[in-house]
Amino acid sequence: MAQPQGYIYPQYPNHLCKLYKLIYGLKQTPRAWFSRLIDKLQAIGFRASKAYLSLFIWYKNDVLVVILIYVDDIIITSNSSTAIHYVLQDLCSDFAVNELDDLSYFLGVEVLCSTDGMYLTQRKYVAELLNRTHTAEAKPCTSPMSTTFHLSAIEGAKFLDPSLYRQIVCSLQYLAFTRPDLSFSIHKVSNFMHNPLEPHWQVVKRILRYLKHAISTRLFLSRSHHFAIQVFSDSDWADDRDDWRSISAYCVFMGNNLQLLVVAQKLDISLLQTLPQNSNGCNQFYLKLA
């Protein structure tokens, strides 16, 4: 191994270090591995995406190759099987690559291909979550959250096991990748991780019961030849009982496929204040952002 920066021996700057422990088990391993892989991909001609640093793109003469990296797991796709073959050959010259079959399972997400596109599902992950929380035999529920029930940070008795609450909510957050139907309810219960109350726990249990009902729900990505971008948005309009802030959400579609879904709480509060009547006898209003 080359001498690490800052610890180069002055008398022997060109000497190498002999490792007594495999570097794979060190904390620096992911960064060193990723850096070496980036250098190789850039040498081939790939460029990193500005939006997602683990996504690499190669495009030339109408041939597109896309590589997605997570630690040492790699997804490669292209509109040319020949291009994939050449890229894998280049990677094999520097790395030990185990070429698997078509994509079917990646980071807890199952991929089901069809003639019209592909389905993304986390059915196995949901089943394991229900078994872990002992709700596999619970009564199913047809919606993740009641539309008339409002959560508050101060209303309700204290939940006795906050660590259990945080553990389950964090597990639910991973489902938001393929389950847009859960985004709003998961966002609501995530706001109370620091101090969960009994009403919050009841909503978490309802979400789990809804998962029992809709365990097979999948996200469909269709084969599309049109790429028109559409954006839809909504808001609950100051429905938060504690600070009267709004929760807004928007989703972005490219063609028929969902590309982005964001649920976030607004940071500003709009206050409407009435001023005394002016000389014309009309009330004056102004908005103040706090």
Per the structure block, which two tokens stand in for 158? Answer: 């204290």
Q: Which amino acid is at 189?
A: V
Band (pLDDT 50/70/90 cuts) for residue 168 is: very high
Q: What are phi and psi of 80, to 5 degrees?
A: -140, 120
Query: Dihedral of CA 216/222/228/229: which sign?
Result: positive
- Alpha carbons 186 and 149: distance in angstroms, whole number: 14
Q: For residues 62-71, give the mean pLDDT.
A: 87
pLDDT, position 24: 57
Q: Where are the alpha helices (DSSP H) in 99-182?
A: 123-132, 162-173
> How far is residue 141's CA from residue 143's CA, in Å, rounded to a whole number?
6
Beta strand extents in the chain (DSSP E only): 47-48, 55-60, 63-70, 73-78, 105-106, 109-114, 117-121, 219-222, 229-235, 247-254, 257-265, 270-275, 284-289
Mean pLDDT of the chain: 81
| pLDDT, greater one: 171 or 246 | 171
pLDDT, tens digit, 9 for 90 and up, residues 72-129 = 778 888 888 888 888 888 888 887 777 767 788 888 888 888 888 888 899 999 999 9
Distance of CA 60 to the CA centre of its chain: 30
Q: For helices 123-132 and 198-213, give the axis angle rounded to 10 degrees.
A: 130
The rounded percent of the chain whose pLDDT value lies above 70 is 85
Average pLDDT over residues 64-76: 85
Q: What is the DSSP string of 223-259?
A: --S---EEEEEEE--S--TTT---EEEEEEEETTEEE
* 143-157, 173-187, 202-216, 259-273 — most confident range: 202-216
Lowest mean pLDDT among 198-202, 220-224, 251-255, 276-280: 276-280
SS3 176: helix
221 pLDDT above the threshold of 70: yes
The answer to whether 144 and 206 have CB atoms below 8 angstroms apart is yes
Model confidence, pTM: 0.71
Among candidate residues 241, 276, 202, the one with its CA nearest the CA of residue 284? 276
> Which contiguous run of DSSP H or E holds residue 190?
helix 183-190
Q: What is the pLDDT of residue 285?
A: 45
**Would you list the domain boundaries of the chain?**
23-100, 121-223, 229-290
Fold designation for 23-100: TATA-Binding Protein (3.30.310)
- pLDDT, greater one: 280 or 112: 112
Average the pLDDT over 128-156 and give the result.
88
Tell me how far apart the alpha carbons of residues 186 and 221 are, in angstroms, rounded to a whole number. Answer: 23
